[in-house]
Amino acid sequence: MQQQLADVNLDDKYTLERGRVYLTGIQALTRLLMIQRLRDQAAGLNTAGFVSGFQGSPLNNMDKTLWEAQELLRRHHIHFQPGQNEELAAMAQSEVAAAIDCTGGWYSVQRWRGVVVGELLARAGVLPAAASVTFEAVSGYRRRFPVDEATAALLALGTLGQEENAFHPLAHGHGAPARAVLPGRRGVEWVKWLAVIRVNETGPWLQSPLPLQ
Protein backbone atom coordinates (compact mmCIF):
# COMPACT_ATOMS: atom_id res chain seq x y z
CA MET A 1 0.00 0.00 0.00
CA GLN A 2 1.51 3.27 -1.08
CA GLN A 3 1.27 6.10 1.45
CA GLN A 4 0.33 9.49 0.07
CA LEU A 5 2.75 12.24 0.94
CA ALA A 6 1.42 15.31 2.67
CA ASP A 7 1.35 18.61 0.79
CA VAL A 8 4.00 20.61 2.65
CA ASN A 9 5.09 24.22 2.15
CA LEU A 10 7.97 26.03 3.84
CA ASP A 11 5.54 28.76 4.92
CA ASP A 12 3.43 26.23 6.86
CA LYS A 13 5.28 27.15 10.04
CA TYR A 14 3.63 30.58 9.78
CA THR A 15 0.38 29.91 7.92
CA LEU A 16 -0.91 26.45 8.87
CA GLU A 17 -3.99 26.81 11.06
CA ARG A 18 -4.43 23.14 11.99
CA GLY A 19 -2.12 20.19 12.41
CA ARG A 20 1.52 20.00 13.38
CA VAL A 21 4.27 22.41 12.39
CA TYR A 22 7.99 22.34 13.09
CA LEU A 23 9.67 25.64 13.87
CA THR A 24 12.43 27.13 15.97
CA GLY A 25 11.90 29.37 18.97
CA ILE A 26 12.79 32.44 16.88
CA GLN A 27 10.28 31.41 14.21
CA ALA A 28 7.67 30.92 16.94
CA LEU A 29 8.21 34.51 18.08
CA THR A 30 7.83 35.67 14.48
CA ARG A 31 4.57 33.75 14.12
CA LEU A 32 3.36 35.20 17.42
CA LEU A 33 3.41 38.68 15.82
CA MET A 34 1.01 37.45 13.13
CA ILE A 35 -1.19 35.61 15.62
CA GLN A 36 -1.59 38.79 17.65
CA ARG A 37 -2.77 40.66 14.53
CA LEU A 38 -5.34 37.89 13.82
CA ARG A 39 -6.57 37.97 17.42
CA ASP A 40 -6.97 41.75 17.20
CA GLN A 41 -8.95 41.39 13.97
CA ALA A 42 -11.22 38.80 15.59
CA ALA A 43 -11.86 41.30 18.39
CA GLY A 44 -12.79 44.00 15.87
CA LEU A 45 -9.54 45.93 16.25
CA ASN A 46 -7.57 47.36 13.33
CA THR A 47 -3.96 47.20 14.55
CA ALA A 48 -0.48 47.14 13.05
CA GLY A 49 3.01 46.30 14.29
CA PHE A 50 6.50 47.79 14.11
CA VAL A 51 9.64 45.81 14.97
CA SER A 52 13.17 47.19 15.03
CA GLY A 53 16.46 46.64 16.77
CA PHE A 54 20.19 46.03 16.69
CA GLN A 55 21.05 43.36 14.16
CA GLY A 56 21.91 40.12 15.94
CA SER A 57 20.89 41.34 19.39
CA PRO A 58 19.38 40.54 21.82
CA LEU A 59 18.29 37.33 20.06
CA ASN A 60 20.68 35.91 17.48
CA ASN A 61 19.06 35.52 14.02
CA MET A 62 15.82 37.25 15.08
CA ASP A 63 16.42 40.04 12.55
CA LYS A 64 17.31 37.49 9.83
CA THR A 65 14.15 35.49 10.49
CA LEU A 66 11.96 38.59 10.43
CA TRP A 67 13.57 39.67 7.16
CA GLU A 68 12.92 36.27 5.55
CA ALA A 69 9.26 36.44 6.62
CA GLN A 70 8.76 40.09 5.66
CA GLU A 71 6.19 39.35 2.91
CA LEU A 72 3.98 37.41 5.33
CA LEU A 73 4.51 40.07 7.99
CA ARG A 74 3.49 42.77 5.53
CA ARG A 75 0.19 40.97 4.86
CA HIS A 76 -0.48 41.22 8.59
CA HIS A 77 0.38 44.94 8.69
CA ILE A 78 3.66 44.33 10.52
CA HIS A 79 6.68 46.39 9.44
CA PHE A 80 10.23 45.28 10.23
CA GLN A 81 12.90 48.00 10.13
CA PRO A 82 16.40 46.65 10.81
CA GLY A 83 18.79 49.21 12.22
CA GLN A 84 22.01 49.79 14.12
CA ASN A 85 19.77 50.46 17.11
CA GLU A 86 16.28 51.68 17.77
CA GLU A 87 17.28 55.35 17.67
CA LEU A 88 18.99 55.05 14.29
CA ALA A 89 16.10 53.06 12.83
CA ALA A 90 13.67 55.78 13.95
CA MET A 91 15.70 58.57 12.29
CA ALA A 92 14.97 59.78 8.77
CA GLN A 93 16.55 57.44 6.23
CA SER A 94 18.41 58.82 3.20
CA GLU A 95 19.56 57.18 -0.03
CA VAL A 96 22.81 57.67 -1.95
CA ALA A 97 23.80 56.08 -5.26
CA ALA A 98 27.56 55.60 -5.27
CA ALA A 99 30.21 53.34 -6.74
CA ILE A 100 32.46 51.35 -4.44
CA ASP A 101 35.72 49.92 -5.74
CA CYS A 102 38.56 47.78 -4.46
CA THR A 103 42.28 47.72 -5.16
CA GLY A 104 41.86 44.63 -7.37
CA GLY A 105 39.90 46.60 -9.96
CA TRP A 106 36.40 45.40 -9.03
CA TYR A 107 33.68 47.98 -8.57
CA SER A 108 29.93 48.12 -8.07
CA VAL A 109 27.31 50.87 -8.11
CA GLN A 110 24.87 50.48 -5.23
CA ARG A 111 21.96 52.41 -3.79
CA TRP A 112 22.94 52.83 -0.16
CA ARG A 113 20.44 53.59 2.58
CA GLY A 114 21.07 54.93 6.06
CA VAL A 115 21.44 58.08 8.13
CA VAL A 116 23.37 61.19 7.02
CA VAL A 117 26.33 61.63 9.39
CA GLY A 118 25.62 65.35 9.66
CA GLU A 119 22.26 64.58 11.28
CA LEU A 120 23.98 62.47 13.94
CA LEU A 121 26.58 65.15 14.63
CA ALA A 122 23.88 67.81 14.87
CA ARG A 123 22.18 65.79 17.60
CA ALA A 124 25.47 65.33 19.45
CA GLY A 125 26.44 68.99 19.07
CA VAL A 126 29.66 69.94 17.27
CA LEU A 127 31.88 72.74 18.61
CA PRO A 128 33.12 75.51 16.28
CA ALA A 129 36.70 74.29 16.78
CA ALA A 130 35.95 71.01 14.97
CA ALA A 131 38.40 70.50 12.10
CA SER A 132 37.97 66.86 11.09
CA VAL A 133 35.98 63.70 11.77
CA THR A 134 37.39 60.21 12.27
CA PHE A 135 35.51 57.01 11.38
CA GLU A 136 36.85 54.05 13.34
CA ALA A 137 35.99 50.35 12.98
CA VAL A 138 35.79 47.73 15.72
CA SER A 139 39.14 46.44 14.40
CA GLY A 140 40.81 49.79 15.11
CA TYR A 141 41.07 50.72 11.42
CA ARG A 142 40.30 54.41 11.00
CA ARG A 143 40.21 57.21 8.42
CA ARG A 144 39.90 60.96 8.97
CA PHE A 145 38.05 63.48 6.77
CA PRO A 146 37.31 67.22 6.67
CA VAL A 147 34.19 68.17 8.60
CA ASP A 148 32.20 69.24 5.53
CA GLU A 149 32.94 65.96 3.72
CA ALA A 150 32.25 63.83 6.79
CA THR A 151 28.91 65.49 7.51
CA ALA A 152 27.79 64.72 3.94
CA ALA A 153 28.76 61.05 4.30
CA LEU A 154 26.16 58.34 4.84
CA LEU A 155 26.10 55.94 7.77
CA ALA A 156 24.86 53.07 5.63
CA LEU A 157 22.76 50.30 7.17
CA GLY A 158 22.07 48.48 3.91
CA THR A 159 21.31 48.76 0.20
CA LEU A 160 18.22 48.98 -2.00
CA GLY A 161 17.58 46.58 -4.87
CA GLN A 162 18.43 47.86 -8.35
CA GLU A 163 15.00 47.11 -9.82
CA GLU A 164 12.88 47.40 -6.69
CA ASN A 165 12.98 49.27 -3.42
CA ALA A 166 13.46 46.23 -1.20
CA PHE A 167 15.89 47.02 1.62
CA HIS A 168 18.78 44.59 2.14
CA PRO A 169 20.65 44.96 5.44
CA LEU A 170 24.44 44.92 5.21
CA ALA A 171 26.01 41.48 5.43
CA HIS A 172 28.87 41.07 7.87
CA GLY A 173 31.43 40.93 5.07
CA HIS A 174 30.16 44.25 3.74
CA GLY A 175 30.47 46.05 7.07
CA ALA A 176 27.37 45.23 9.12
CA PRO A 177 25.85 46.65 11.12
CA ALA A 178 26.98 50.01 9.64
CA ARG A 179 29.64 51.42 7.33
CA ALA A 180 30.65 54.83 6.02
CA VAL A 181 29.73 55.72 2.44
CA LEU A 182 31.76 58.59 0.97
CA PRO A 183 31.04 59.17 -2.74
CA GLY A 184 34.16 60.25 -4.58
CA ARG A 185 36.49 58.37 -2.21
CA ARG A 186 38.10 55.00 -2.86
CA GLY A 187 36.36 52.05 -1.29
CA VAL A 188 39.32 51.41 1.03
CA GLU A 189 38.33 54.61 2.87
CA TRP A 190 34.70 53.55 3.35
CA VAL A 191 35.26 52.30 6.89
CA LYS A 192 33.31 49.10 7.63
CA TRP A 193 32.05 47.77 11.00
CA LEU A 194 31.80 51.30 12.35
CA ALA A 195 32.17 51.56 16.11
CA VAL A 196 33.22 55.19 16.70
CA ILE A 197 32.66 58.55 14.99
CA ARG A 198 35.05 61.06 16.59
CA VAL A 199 35.19 64.83 16.03
CA ASN A 200 38.72 66.30 16.20
CA GLU A 201 40.15 69.79 16.65
CA THR A 202 43.10 68.82 14.44
CA GLY A 203 42.87 68.66 10.66
CA PRO A 204 42.35 65.65 8.38
CA TRP A 205 46.03 65.67 7.40
CA LEU A 206 46.99 64.13 10.78
CA GLN A 207 47.00 60.54 9.48
CA SER A 208 48.95 58.36 7.08
CA PRO A 209 48.22 59.17 3.41
CA LEU A 210 47.37 55.52 2.79
CA PRO A 211 45.58 53.07 5.10
CA LEU A 212 48.07 50.94 7.01
CA GLN A 213 45.67 48.35 8.48
Q: Please report, in tens digits, the pLDDT of each residue of the chain (213 residues total).
A: 566 666 777 788 888 888 888 898 989 999 999 999 999 999 998 888 988 766 555 566 787 788 888 899 999 999 887 655 567 767 888 898 888 887 667 778 889 999 999 998 988 888 888 999 999 988 888 999 999 999 999 999 888 887 777 888 887 778 888 899 999 888 889 999 888 899 998 888 877 766 655
Residue 93 near residue 115 (C-beta atoms within 8 A): yes
- How many other CB atoms sit within 10 Å of the CB of residue 142? 16
φ and ψ of 212, to 5 deg: -105, -5
Structural domains in the chain, CATH included, are: 12-87 (no CATH), 91-200 (3.90.420.10)
Query: Of the candidates 147, 138, 153, which has an alpha carbon nearest to the alpha carbon of residue 201?
Result: 147
